[in-house]
Amino acid sequence: MDSKKTIILGIESSCDDTSAAVCVDGEILSNVTASQKVHEEYGGVVPELASRAHQENIVPVVDKALKDAGVKKEELSAIAFTQGPGLIGSLLVGTSFGKAMALALNIPIITVNHMVAHVLAHFIDEPKPSFPFLCLTVSGGHTQLVLVKDYLDMEVVGETIDDAAGEAFDKTAKMLGLPYPGGPLLDKLAKTGNPLAFKFAKPRVPDLNYSFSGLKTSVLYFLQKQEEGFIEKNLNDLCASIQYTIIEILMKKLIKTVDKYEVTQVSIAGGVSANSGLRKKIEELGKENGWDIFIPQFQYCTDNAGMIAQTAYYKYLNQDFATQDVSPKARFKI
């Protein structure tokens, strides 16, 4: 490969997906993700098991990302990794691996904030938004309304005060007896259910913030009142009604934020942006209100290293490098 090109290896290991990607001059040439199945039987991510699985996966995943991109490690310009937020043991695997590999190759390291990367996933494919735009980042750990002024200049203007939207999906799915992570399965079952069959509580939270813990309690109390066999008989309607409520909650504050900041470009990112109901609803709102809507491809919605490498490319252009003494951060604000 041309030695004048900027070639970045990105590594993501913040939760339960080990991922590596190669970005060449701002274009993602490979994105390889190994998802960990080991957590399914526990109904949630077990941090220690996640760290161990990352250790097993990281070498083959990085190897495959380089191979798929047709890049030799000696050609790399820099190595980027997720510094946080996330599970500390999981982050340690990616950060230690990235630092060691960069040291061996004598190239710079770039640290990436996972939540910034979810937002910049919109710059991987066409069409790309222009600044300023609003991004609703909805994942398993976060729900944020982000006003994006430039690649590396963004502000969280609203966020959840308790559970994240992904947690609302996963926890209510668990109450319905669905395996972890329940979000994608709940989405699938909701497709043939009636979204107005059951009504659940919606929060009253000031400003542009969210709350999902009340919905969780409302679903729990509702289910506890029912006779045996109720869930099995009404599963699709329950899924559709829960999904409908989560989307209504998300959209209410999104509309308020668009009005307040007078943006015309609106996007969704993070694992929950893979939800078919949410994707449909935001497209509809875009048509009704004249907004341009941006949604990443599925592989760049859930955790992936493509978004890490893409973010690192913008930091590389600013020569924003980290030093070898950098360490992971479980909590890391945008």
Give the CA diameter of the chain.
Answer: 68
Rounded least distance, CB 333 to Zn ion, Å: 15
Residue 302 binding: pick among ligand KG4, Zn ion, none (C-beta 5-8 Å cut-off by kind): ligand KG4
**Residues touching ligand KG4: how many (CB under 6 A)?**
18
Among 30, 139, 257, 311, binds ligand KG4 (CB under 6 A): 139
Place of tokens 């899924």: 239
Residues 51-80 that bind ligand KG4 (CB under 6 A): none
**Residues touching Zn ion: how many (CB under 5 A)?**
2
Torsion angle of the four alpha carbons 182, 308, 9, 88, in this order, in degrees rounded to the nearest 10: -70
For Zn ion, the closer of residues 17 and 75 by Cβ is 17
DSSP state at residue 15: S
Q: State the DSSP string of 36-48.
A: --TTGGGTS--HH
Rounded least distance, CB 170 to ligand KG4, Å: 5
Q: Could you give the CA distance from residue 310 to residue 314 in angstroms, rounded to a whole number?
A: 7
Q: Could you give the CA distance from residue 171 to residue 156 in angstroms, rounded to a whole number?
A: 25
Residue 274 binding: pick among ligand KG4, Zn ion, none (C-beta 5-8 Å cut-off by kind): ligand KG4
Rounded least distance, CB 15 to Zn ion, Å: 7
By beta carbon distance, the residue nearest Zn ion is: 139
CB atoms within 10 A of CB 233: 11
For Zn ion, the closer of residues 117 and 258 by Cβ is 117
Q: Is 12 in the site for Zn ion (CB under 5 A)?
A: no
What is the contact mask toward ligand KG4 in residues 187 to 226, using x (rule: CB under 6 A)? x---------------------------------------
Q: Give the amino acid at 185.
A: L
Q: Is 183 in the site for ligand KG4 (CB under 6 A)?
A: yes
What is the contact mask toward ligand KG4 in residues 6 to 45, using x (rule: CB under 6 A)? ---------x------------------------------
Among 159, 170, 237, 303, binds Zn ion (CB under 5 A): 303
Between strands 143-150 and 153-159, the pairing is: antiparallel
Q: Is 302 in the site for ligand KG4 (CB under 6 A)?
A: yes
Residue 94 binding: pick among Zn ion, ligand KG4, none (C-beta 5-8 Å cut-off by kind): none
Helix 230-261 × helix 213-224 angle, to 10° = 160
Beta strands in the chain (DSSP E): 7-12, 17-24, 27-35, 78-84, 109-113, 133-138, 143-150, 153-159, 265-269, 292-294
Q: Is 275 in the site for ligand KG4 (CB under 6 A)?
A: yes
What b/e readout covers 185-211, taking b as 16+ CB neighbours within 10 angstroms? Answer: bbbebbeebebeebebeebebeebbbb
- Per CB under 6 A, the segment of 213-221, 265-273, 287-295, 321-329 that binds ligand KG4 is 265-273
By beta carbon distance, the residue nearest ligand KG4 is: 271
Helix 165-175 × helix 230-261 angle, to 10° = 170
Q: How far, CA to CA in Å, does 269 sit from each of 183, 194, 262, 274?
A: 15, 26, 20, 8
For ligand KG4, the closer of residues 257 and 273 by Cβ is 273
SS3 18: strand
Among 36, 113, 139, 243, binds Zn ion (CB under 5 A): 139
For ligand KG4, the closer of residues 214 and 271 by Cβ is 271
Give all strands of the β-sheet with 17-24 in edge-to-edge order: 27-35, 17-24, 7-12, 78-84, 109-113
Instruction: Please report, as ranges, the residues that interact with Zn ion according to CB under 5 A.
Output: 139, 303
Instruction: Please report, as ranges, the residues that interact with ligand KG4 according to CB under 6 A.
Output: 15, 139-141, 166, 169-170, 181, 183-184, 187, 270-272, 274-275, 302-303
